[in-house]
Structure 1
Amino acid sequence: MPKPDLFQPADDDARRIARDLIAQATHAALAVIRPGTTLPSVTRIAMATDPQGAPLSLISSLSHHTAALDASPDCALLLGEPGDKGDPLTHPRLTVHARAQLIPRDSADHAPLRDHYLTQRPKAKLYIDFADFRLVRFAVTDALLNGGFGKAYILSAADLIAPFPAPQTVPEHKA
């Protein structure tokens, strides 16, 4: 017997929640596959967005997750934080499936992305130019939004990155 589809069709509310989660994220959990294995690994990274709203980060080549992304750029990001009250599972969260694009320092994209990143994360000015740090843009393939109990959506890359009105505050969900 086939399982019922538990995902609702993407709508403007789901798109807005997902885009707000991306726009407001200061960090994310990054899931990668450890090089030479089939074992997953998760770490926390700093988050910003590129000018189109795609996830953007700054990572060190000294880290294990950078080696993992070099070996296999397919990855996932988990965004969204539980609120101060209620069940953590009632708060919106977004799993973004993506392909990491490590931005070479000598590419035409590097300087504008560097400047854009620093407008969002000015404290990174202390280390952004260290030789081991690289910008990484996450090209979204799709995403899973859990907007709270009974609010599950599969979103396309266009649902997340296409032009849309300015981010609003993520609605507070009460448990």
Structure 2
Amino acid sequence: MSKSAVNETNEEARELARRLLQGAGHAALAVNDPDGPAPLASRVAIMADERDALILVSDLSTHTRGLRSDGNCSLLIGEPGPKGDPLTHPRMTFIAEAFATDKLAHRERWLQRHPPAKLWFDFADFTMFRLTPRRILLNGGFGKAYHLMPEDLDPQ
């Protein structure tokens, strides 16, 4: 029987996952391609809202059509640091379900987080989605793999 590479979730892992989510400004979004049988990835701006992530996307984009046809998606959150192997830097895959949400309710916070969005935030073809996690795969660096649940993102 092989040993699992996944560690038991602890407070250090929970705190790292919370920091990654709260600190993220952008992430890679993966959706099911509405035009074919393969995943589709895009870079999107994000903002944390408690344990969820919010994204603002154009209805003209393929990834938005993908979210509308199938809300199952994931975000890869975490950027490599300026030095060292990018694969040793913390990151997490946020496996989620996307739901359209009221973008005006988040306007002020979104524009504080993403000031350039003031140019397009109010365009009618932009929709905000709430990505509610189902589970989280955290890689905190070499030998630091964890499987987390949504409640692990709750503040302590």
Determine whether 1:129 maps to 2:122: yes
**SS state at 1:57 partner:** strand
With normalisation by structure 1, the TM-score equals 0.84
Where does residue 138 of structure 1 map in the other structure?
Answer: 131
Alpha-carbon distance in structure 1 between the residues aligned to 2:108 and 2:133: 22
Where does residue 142 of structure 2 map in the other structure?
Answer: 149
| Residue pairs, 1:66-81, within 5 angstroms | 66-81=64-79
Matching residue's letter, 2:120: Y
Gaps in structure 1 of 5+ consecutive residues: 104-108, 165-175
| Residue pairs, 1:83-102, within 5 angstroms | 83-102=81-100
Determine whether 1:163 maps to 2:155: yes
With normalisation by structure 2, the TM-score equals 0.93
Alpha-carbon distance in structure 2 between the residues aligned to 1:61 and 1:3: 46
Q: 2:107 aligns with which of 110, 114, 124?
A: 114
Q: Which moved more, 1:35-44 or 1:110-119?
A: 110-119
**SS state at 1:47 partner:** strand
Following TM superposition, by how much is the alpha carbon of 1:115 offset from its aligned partner in structure 2, in angstroms?
Answer: 2.5
- RMSD of Structure 2 on Structure 1 (CA): 1.4
Following TM superposition, by how much is the alpha carbon of 1:4 offset from its aligned partner in structure 2, in angstroms?
Answer: 2.8
Q: How many residues align?
A: 156
Which structure shows the higher strand fraction?
2
Following TM superposition, by how much is the alpha carbon of 1:124 offset from its aligned partner in structure 2, in angstroms?
Answer: 1.2
How many percent identity over aligned positions? 46
Does the Cα contact within 8 Å between 2:51 and 2:133 map onto a contact in 1?
no
Alpha-carbon distance in structure 2 between the residues aligned to 1:72 and 1:49: 22
Alpha-carbon distance in structure 1 between the residues aligned to 2:29 and 2:2: 29
Matching residue's letter, 2:127: R
Following TM superposition, by how much is the alpha carbon of 1:36 offset from its aligned partner in structure 2, in angstroms?
Answer: 4.7
| Residue pairs, 1:25-64, within 5 angstroms | 25-50=24-49, 52-64=50-62
